[in-house]
Amino acid sequence: PKYRLLSISMNNIAQHIVDKFGGLPKMVAATGIPRTTIQHWVTTGIVSAKYQQRILKGAKKAAIALAHADFFA
């Protein structure tokens, strides 16, 4: 079980994206997406496809280097 959790956290796409924004509060501010929604993504490791464009627009506005490829492992 410990190894499984470690491998999930290493491949957590959602956490990778949150980290690019500089943390959860900054991602919420830049995208307007509710904190609880983003926290759910971090828990599952997957960002909902319906929010990807909104995240990319928020990243561009905040001068954060984020691309479509960042949403895939």
Residue 68's pLDDT is 93
Query: For each of the chain's 73 residues, which pLDDT tens digit applies?
Result: 454 444 444 579 999 999 999 999 999 999 999 999 999 999 999 999 999 999 999 999 999 999 999 998 6
Query: Looking at residue 11, what is its pLDDT?
Result: 75
- For the purposes of burial, counting CB atoms within 10 Å of the CB of 21, is it exposed (0-12), middle (13-18) or buried (19 or more)? buried
| Backbone torsions φ then ψ of 60, nearest 5 degrees | -65, -45
Q: What pLDDT does 73 receive?
A: 67
Q: How far apart are CA 13 and CA 59, in angstroms?
A: 15
CB atoms within 10 A of CB 59: 20
Please name the residue ranges forming H helices in the chain. Answer: 2-10, 13-21, 24-31, 35-44, 52-61
Question: How much is the pTM?
Answer: 0.82
